[in-house]
């Protein structure tokens, strides 16, 4: 018995050791994947100013710096887009103040520049852009996206989820005050890019995994909640003035909420009634 107990204890210890080893290997793999992804993310950021020659239906700029707005205004002034949306504008900022920043005429600003005051973050920017694109009839068109180079991956992920049928062209703005190529030597730049990388991963997790699963579950629940043929409510038959049941069902009306009068005849007494009153149900 003692030998059996010792063997059982040794087996449990070995199993625990194997589980711990597997957990350590998994943690090491995830950490290596995170570091490799971060390096790839940092290296993928634009180092030089974007140059676009495309003609798009619209251009959207995510606020966060005056240089972004000026670059977007330049695209509009050169005729590369028909309309411009500035999303995430501070509610205390007046339109005339923004007009002074843009390299466009006042006439072009008044006709073709829209200001969005609702958005407070990147998710809000994407939703505001979606509503604007739908209202302007370009939700299935092409959009030039203007934002900072380190912010572009997350902005594109959010906009692609909000406007899946739109064609997006990134226009990355490179700032002289923040050089992403210095992330190995500058701790502040490294922290900024690392924070942006973590946010980007959360956006991918939410838009590509969590939201599709949630939407599929909601559609399944709605389908199960729909009544089948046996569960459909029975439509009552209307009463004639003589008290007999009419042979025509209420369902024959084009709109069950309308009151319709039509000539008919009683089924039992064969006495002609002048009208049949279909009351709302």
Q: What is the pLDDT of residue 26?
A: 87
**CATH superfamily of the domain spanning 56-175:** HUPs (3.40.50.620)
Residue 266 has pLDDT above 50, yes or no: no
Q: What is the pLDDT of residue 149?
A: 93
Q: What is the pLDDT of residues 192-246, one digit of tens each?
A: 999 999 999 999 999 988 776 665 555 566 556 555 444 445 544 444 444 444 4
Q: Is pLDDT larger for residue 269 or for residue 192?
A: 192
Which residue has 């594109």 as its token pair? Answer: 156
Q: What is the pLDDT of residues 18-27, one digit of tens each?
A: 788 888 888 8
Q: Could you tell me the residue ranges of all domains in the chain? A: 56-175, 237-278
Q: What is the pLDDT of residue 223?
A: 52
Q: What is the pLDDT of residue 218?
A: 52
Q: What is the pLDDT of residue 217?
A: 59
Q: What is the pLDDT of residue 236?
A: 47
239 DSSP β-pair partners: 245
Q: Please report which confidence band the pLDDT of residue 178 belongs to, taking 50, 70 and 90 as the band edges.
A: confident
Q: What is the pLDDT of residues 225-240, one digit of tens each?
A: 555 444 445 544 444 4
Q: What is the pLDDT of residue 173?
A: 93
Window from 13-17, 141-145, 158-162 with minimum mean pLDDT: 13-17
276 DSSP β-pair partners: 262
Q: What is the DSSP string of 98-144?
A: HHHHSSS-HHHHHHHEEEE----SHHHHHHHHHHHHHHHT-TTSEEE
**Closest C-alpha among 237, 250, 236, 240 to residue 275:** 240
Q: What is the pLDDT of residue 208?
A: 85
Residue 109 has pLDDT above 60, yes or no: yes
| Own/partner long-range contacts of 103-111 (Cβ < 8 Å, ≥24 apart) | 103/70, 103/73, 103/74, 103/77, 104/73, 104/76, 104/77, 108/76, 108/77
Residue 265 has pLDDT above 60, yes or no: no
Say whether pTM exceeds 0.85: no
Mean pLDDT of 87-115: 93
Q: Please report which confidence band the pLDDT of residue 2 belongs to, taking 50, 70 and 90 as the band edges.
A: low
- With a pLDDT cut of 70, the percent of the chain lying above it is 70
């Amino acid at each position: 018995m003692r030998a059996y107990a010792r063997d059982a204890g040794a087996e449990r210890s070995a199993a625990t050791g194997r589980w711990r080893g597997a957990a350590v290997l998994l943690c090491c793999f995830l950490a290596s994947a995170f570091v490799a992804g971060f390096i790839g993310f940092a290296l993928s950021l634009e180092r030089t100013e974007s140059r676009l020659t495309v003609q798009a239906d619209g251009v959207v700029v995510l606020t966060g710096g005056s240089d972004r707005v000026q670059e977007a205004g330049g695209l509009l002034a050169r005729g590369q887009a028909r309309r411009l949306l500035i999303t995430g504008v501070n509610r205390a900022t007046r339109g005339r103040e923004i007009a002074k920043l843009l390299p466009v005429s006042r006439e072009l600003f008044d006709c073709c520049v829209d200001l969005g005051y609702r958005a407070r973050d990147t998710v809000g920017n994407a939703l505001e852009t979606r509503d604007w694109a739908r209202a302007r009839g370009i939700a299935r068109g092409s959009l030039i996206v203007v934002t900072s180079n380190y912010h572009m991956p997350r902005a594109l992920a959010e906009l692609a989820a909000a406007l899946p049928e739109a064609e997006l062209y990134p226009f990355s703005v490179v700032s002289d005050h923040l050089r992403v190529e210095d992330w190995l030597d500058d701790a502040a730049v490294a922290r900024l890019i690392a924070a942006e990388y973590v946010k980007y991963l959360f956006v991918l997790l939410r838009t590509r995994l969590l939201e599709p699963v949630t939407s599929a579950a909601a559609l399944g629940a709605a389908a199960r909640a729909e009544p089948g043929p046996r569960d459909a409510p029975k439509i009552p038959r209307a009463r004639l003035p003589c008290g007999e049941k009419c042979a025509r069902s209420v369902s024959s009306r084009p709109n069950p909420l309308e009151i319709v009068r039509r000539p008919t005849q009683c089924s039992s007494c064969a006495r002609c009634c002048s009208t049949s009153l279909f009351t709302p149900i």
